[in-house]
Amino acid sequence: MEKLRETHINWDFGACRIKKENQRLQQASLRLEQENDSLAHRLITSKVALRNCLDEAEDRVDELTKDLLKIQHRLQATEDEKRGKEEEAAMLKEVFRRELETAEQEIKKSSGIISDYKQICSQLTSEELDALKVKACSQCRHVAESIPAGHSAAEDGNRKDQEKESLKAQIRELEKELAQTKLQVVEANCKIQLARGLMYQDNLIKSQKGPQSLYTETSTIRVKSMTCNVSKPNEGKPLDANTRKSNYIICDRDLVFSWGCSNIRKPKERKLRQFHLSQGLS
C-alpha cells in the first residue's frame, strides 16, 4: 500500500510538473508567435516602404533620363547653330574684306585720277602764267610781235585745236572713270548695308523662332542676295555738259565728287569754267 501510495504521489507530482512545463511552453509559444507576427508585420511594412522608395527612384531616373535627352538635343542644336553662326561670320568677314579691298583700290585709283586732273589744271595754269610773263617782258613781247602774224595765227590755231581735242578726250576719260568709281563705291556701300540689314533681320527672326532654323538655305540665299541695282553710266559714250556738270566739282583745295550739285561754284571752279568756255569745251 505504501508503495502504491508513493507511486501515486510521484505520479501526481510528475503530472503537476508536466502541466506546469506545458503551460510554460504554451506561454513561450504564444510569446514567440506574437514576436513572429510583429516581425512579419515589420518585414511587410519594410518591404512596402522599400518598394515605394524603389518606385520613386525609378520614376526619378526616368524623369532625369528624359531631361538628359532634352538637354543633349538642345546642346546639339546649340552647337549646330554656333557652327552655323561661325561659318556665317567667316563668310561675311570674307565678303567685307573683299569689299574693303575693292574700295581701297578704287580710292587709290580715284587718287591717281585726281592727281592727274590737278596736274592738267596746273599745266594749263602754268601755260597761262608763261603767256602773261611773255606779255610783261618788253623784249619777249617784241620778239613775239616780230613773228609773222599769219604763221603765228595758224600755229596758234592748230595748237589750240590740238589742245582742245586732247583736253576733250582727257576730260571725257576722266569723267567716265569718275562716274565708274563713284558707281563702284555706291555698289560696295549698298552691298555692305544690305548684308548688315540681312544679318540683323536674320538674328531677329531667329530670336523670335528659337534655336531651330534652316541655316544652310538662309545663309546661301543671304550671300546670293547681296546685290544692289544701281543705274550704270553709258560706257564708251562721251558725257555732255549737263552730265559733266552734275558729276564733279572742283573745290578750292581738293577735288570732291558730287552728284547733282551743279549750283556750287568756288573761285577755282569758276576760273576753270571760264577757261573751258573760252576754249569752247562746254
The alpha carbon of 263 is separated from its chain's Cα centroid by a whole number of angstroms, namely 39
Residue 25 in this model has a pLDDT that exceeds 80: yes
pLDDT band at 62 (very low <50, low <70, confident <90, very high): very high
Q: Is residue 66 part of a domain?
A: no
Strands (E), 55-138: none
Q: How many domains does the chain have?
A: 1
255, 258, 246: which is closest to 186 by C-alpha? 258
Q: Is residue 142 part of a domain?
A: yes
Confidence (pLDDT) at 263:
37
Which residues span the domain enclosing 227? 83-237
Q: Is residue 194 part of a domain?
A: yes
List Cβ neighbours of 80 (8 Å cut-off, separation of 6 or more). Answer: 215
Strands (E), 52-131: none
Q: How far apart are CA 97 and CA 78, in angstroms?
A: 28
CB 239 within 8 A of CB 176: yes
Q: Is residue 268 part of a domain?
A: no
Confidence (pLDDT) at 176:
83
Residue 133 in this model has a pLDDT that exceeds 80: no
C-alpha cell at 117: 586732273
Q: Is residue 265 part of a domain?
A: no
Q: Is residue 143 part of a domain?
A: yes
Q: Is residue 50 part of a domain?
A: no
Which element (helix H / strand E) includes 255?
A: strand 255-257
C-alpha cell at 1: 500500500
Q: What are the angstrom distances between the C-alpha of 224 and each of 44, 50, 220?
A: 74, 65, 6
pTM exceeds cut of 0.85: no
184, 187, 177, 185: which is closest to 248 by C-alpha? 177
The dihedral built from the CA positions of residue 200, 204, 210 and 214, taken in this order, carries a sign that is negative
Side-chain-side CA neighbours of 154 within 13 Å: the count stands at: 4
Greater pLDDT, 254 or 197:
197
Average pLDDT rounded to a whole number, residues 122-129: 68
Residue 46 in this model has a pLDDT that exceeds 80: yes
Q: Is residue 25 part of a domain?
A: no
pLDDT band at 135 (very low <50, low <70, confident <90, very high): low
Give the SS3 label for residue 137: coil
Q: How far apart are CA 230 and CA 207, in angstroms?
A: 33
